[in-house]
């Protein structure tokens, strides 16, 4: 599990949490800027009145804020992250009235079975080894109600060599491991497919919606079978 990677946690607690937001603003410039990017990634997600939403790997809280803006009638938004440094930044953006923030492993949360309508994992699975990814998705399935859903916001492998080269250049895919420690896990996630791993984790129905020319994806996993896919 992630908690058994001490350098990973130390890096996020003491280094990455302080420069993460600034770096993300830079990385998202080609996608229309951070605000536009987050709105577009949230666009396929509709929230019902009184929903209980869990965000796994909530980071510095920017995605939590976007969830709140999209789902104004959410009853509860709980955010979980392993890094206390990331949560410290999130608490400055999100008062407790806006989100319940909890320091915990995304694969072993303190919440009871069937306690949320929606679980969202924003741009975090690509950092995890396969075993950890499956464990986190299984945890999402455990805490979902019978008619609940998981929503994964992630990178993808776009069609066309030029687009793949430009994406890799901009997002530093060319920097080798271990300096860019995400490279092996990102490649493995894309190769295996997020929707395939959702099914492996126990979700009955899945759907993938491509965003930003196939460079990003929104993957849905439902706890029970569905008769019709989402409109794209």
| More confident position, 226 or 136 | 136
- Per-residue pLDDT for 110 more than 90? yes
CA atoms within 13 A on the CB side of 154: 26
Provide the pLDDT for residue 6: 64
- Per-residue pLDDT for 50 more than 70? yes
- Per-residue pLDDT for 1 more than 60? no
The whole model's pTM is what?
Answer: 0.92
Provide the pLDDT for residue 97: 67
- Per-residue pLDDT for 106 more than 50? yes
User: Distance between alpha carbon 1 and the CA centroid of its chain, in Å?
Assistant: 17
pLDDT tens digits for range 125-147: 999 999 999 999 999 999 999 99
User: For residue 14, what pLDDT band results from cuts at 50, 70 and 90?
Assistant: low
Provide the pLDDT for residue 98: 76
pLDDT tens digits for range 153-200: 999 999 999 999 999 999 999 998 888 889 999 999 999 999 999 999
- Per-residue pLDDT for 3 more than 80? no
Domains of the chain: 2-222 (3.40.50.150)
Task: Determine which of 46-50, 124-128, 173-177, 219-223 has the lowest per-residue pLDDT on average.
Answer: 173-177
Q: Across residues 55-72, what is the average pLDDT?
A: 94
Q: Across residues 45-70, what is the average pLDDT?
A: 95
Task: Determine which of 53-57, 82-86, 182-186, 189-193 has the lowest per-residue pLDDT on average.
Answer: 82-86
| More confident position, 17 or 129 | 129
pLDDT tens digits for range 189-202: 999 999 999 999 99
The DSSP bridge partners found for residue 149 are 118, 222
Provide the pLDDT for residue 146: 95
User: For residue 56, what pLDDT band results from cuts at 50, 70 and 90?
Assistant: very high
């Amino acid at each position: 599990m992630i908690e058994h990677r001490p350098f990973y946690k130390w890096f996020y607690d003491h280094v990455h949490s302080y420069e993460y937001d600034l770096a993300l603003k830079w990385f998202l410039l080609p996608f229309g800027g951070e605000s536009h990017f987050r709105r577009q990634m949230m666009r396929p997600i509709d929230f019902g009145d009184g929903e209980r939403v869990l965000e796994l790997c909530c980071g510095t809280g920017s995605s939590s804020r976007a969830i709140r803006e999209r789902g104004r009638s959410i009853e509860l938004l709980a955010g979980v992250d392993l890094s206390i440094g990331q949560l410290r930044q999130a608490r400055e953006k999100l008062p407790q009235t806006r989100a319940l923030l909890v320091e915990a492993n995304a694969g072993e949360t303190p919440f009871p079975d069937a306690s949320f309508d929606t679980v969202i994992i924003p741009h975090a699975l690509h950092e995890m080894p396969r075993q950890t990814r499956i464990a986190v998705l299984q945890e999402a399935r455990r805490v979902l109600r019978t008619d609940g859903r998981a929503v994964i916001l992630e990178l993808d492998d776009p069609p066309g060599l030029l687009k793949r080269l430009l994406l890799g250049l901009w997002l530093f895919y060319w920097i080798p491991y271990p300096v860019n420690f995400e490279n092996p896990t990102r490649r493995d996630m894309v190769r295996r497919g997020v929707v395939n791993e959702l099914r492996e984790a126990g979700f009955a129905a899945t759907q993938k919606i491509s965003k930003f020319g196939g460079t990003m994806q929104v993957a849905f996993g439902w706890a029970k079978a569905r008769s019709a896919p989402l409109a794209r």
